[in-house]
Amino acid sequence: MRQLVAASTVGTAARWATAADTPEAATQAAAKLSRNAIEGKLSKVPVCALVNPEDAPYLSGGRVGYFYLDPQEALLNLRVLRKTSPEARIKIVTLPEVYFPLIRGEQADLGGDLRLRPSRREVVLANRALQFNVKEGTIIPTQLDEAKGQVPVFYSERVSFVSGGKTTFPFFFAKEDLDQAFSQAQGAPADGAALLAVGGGKPGGSSGGQTAAQAAESGIPIGLVRVATLDGLLDQMASGDVDLADAVLVGSRSALKLVGQLVRDEGATAVPPA
């Protein structure tokens, strides 16, 4: 089982770009990741589509269709859709099955615009972190919009995974999963005497003086939360502008749990009670 550790730095050869920053070139040439390698990093992230009997996604009046990262939001929208289209159902797929061919438009025109739909809650949390950490004078927008398919992923220079002597750096689809990883990484030492001292960069953004137990209860300080967009992250993987070979994408644990329940249901078509 992989062990969570606190890392003082992440990506020594490159700087990761956030949604509020202008990407900077790596100080050393980073290897471009192949399409297979990128899809491998997406393979454990489930998405939910609302489809008709021909397995085609439903499009709204504006000819926009969504693949939902939050199964609960997909279920709520299915309930509404079934008022006019009772044959509608949920289909569970993985992110690689839809990202490049449908979201990025590599497949033939399907008559509309297909987008990922992140959880509204995660977008709100991402925007809070972006606004808190934005640099003075920046002119780059720091507001993400889930309706536009802008998917946030959360990370921190203080959190990495260690497994079999290999260190990887996680990007989380859910802020609460980053919180838990940070809390585990700051686990109290055996003697329980050391204080946790992590810097935030702005007043109110650090947890200096907290014990490890207090940090575990409150989650990661907002000053240590970094936000990237999924599109930007995958583009950097493909271009090699930033060394992301050791990055891992971590799907939402709560979404994975609900998807498991849907898969066990009758064709994953259950809707929440009215």
Rg (CA), the chain: 20
For 15-72, the pLDDT digits (tens) are 333 444 433 333 344 689 999 999 999 999 999 999 999 888 999 877 899 999 999 9
| Residue at 62: amino acid letter | G
DSSP letters spanning 157-218: TTEEEEETTEEEEEEESSHHHHHHHHHHHTPPPTTS-PPB----SSTT---TTB-HHHHHHH
Q: Tell me what pLDDT residue 108 has.
A: 65
- Helix 35-42 with 230-239: angle, nearest 10 deg: 150
Length of the chain: 274
Q: Tell me what pLDDT residue 75 has.
A: 94
- Helix 120-133 with 175-185: angle, nearest 10 deg: 60
Per-residue pLDDT band at 139 (split at 50, 70, 90): low
Per-residue pLDDT band at 111 (split at 50, 70, 90): confident
Instruction: Check whether 224 has a pLDDT greater than 80.
Output: yes
Pick from 177, 182, 120: which is nearest to 148 by CA?
120
For 265, the token pair is: 């249901």
Reported pTM: 0.77
- 43 burial level (CB within 10 Å; 0-12, 13-18, 19+): middle
For 60-81, the pLDDT digits (tens) are 877 899 999 999 999 999 999 9
User: CA distances (Å), 20 to each of 11, 17, 274, in order?
Assistant: 18, 8, 40
